[in-house]
Amino acid sequence: MQDLKPQVANARAYHHGDLRHSLIEHGLEMLEQRNIDGLGLRELAREIGVSPPAIYRHFSDKNALLRALAAEGLHRLGGAQAAAFEKTGGGTAGFSASGRAYVHYALEHPALFKLIFSYAPKADVIDAPPDAAATAMLHLREHISEIAPAGTPPEQLRIYAIRAWSQVHGLAMLLLDGQMKAGDAMIEAVLKVEGLAGG
């Protein structure tokens, strides 16, 4: 009755890095249902079927794990944006689509989205060189100049980028916090211009 499940005793139940992967995977899953403070190391370990101290073989402490989760979230957010951008064939339409993808990703993964901005290495898209890391926000910087009128000076491009990012980020946050009703049509309408023109 006790041994129905193949007890692995201790030792190599996971080979080389599997537990790390499993921790991130299950951590992300837990974030789908709970919010950030609801994610505890002991509970996560329990979920995976491993003892809590095992985590410390892979992460120096809880913050390190959260940072890894945030980094993975950022990566996926970037992936979602890139996919949307490619799918629409790039250009202005692609830029808009990737903005919409940003908001939709936030709505689909509320806790993860918030975690990203609390724990991820700062994206630094605005002032850092674009080769820093492949992040969601790099799209902005890479594509903003294609959208702007030819000859727009770099300082103005920077303002456009911040404005566009603020626009999608603010909409995402307000929707996440329930300040207004969501709706694809509304999201599209709000993001239509993105304030790029005008000045």
Partner DNA sequence: TGTACATCAGTGAACGCGCGTTCACTGATGTAC
- Residues at the site binding DNA, with contacts judged by CB under 7 A: 9-16, 18-19, 39-43, 49-58, 61-63
C-beta closer to its own copies: residue 3 or 155: 155
The amino acid sitting at 65 is L
Determine contact, residues 162/127, Cβ cutoff 8 Å: no
Residue whose C-alpha is closest to residue 68's, from 18, 30, 108, 21: 21
Determine contact, residues 172/103, Cβ cutoff 8 Å: yes
Determine contact, residues 32/111, Cβ cutoff 8 Å: yes
Work out whether 54 is an interface residue with its own copies (CB under 8 A).
no
Could you give the 3-state DSSP secondary structure of residue 135?
coil
Q: Which of 51, 63, 118, 145 binds its own copies (CB under 8 A)?
A: 118
Angle, alpha carbons 152-121-91 (nearest 5°): 35
Work out whether 34 is an interface residue with its own copies (CB under 8 A).
no
Q: How far is the CB of 57 from DNA (least distance, A)?
A: 4
Residue 174 binding target from DNA, its own copies, none, CB below 5 to 8 Å by type: its own copies
Work out whether 8 is an interface residue with its own copies (CB under 8 A).
no
Q: What is the binding site for its own copies (CB under 8 A)?
A: 37, 117-118, 122-127, 137, 159, 162-163, 165-174, 177-181, 186, 189-190, 192-195, 197-199
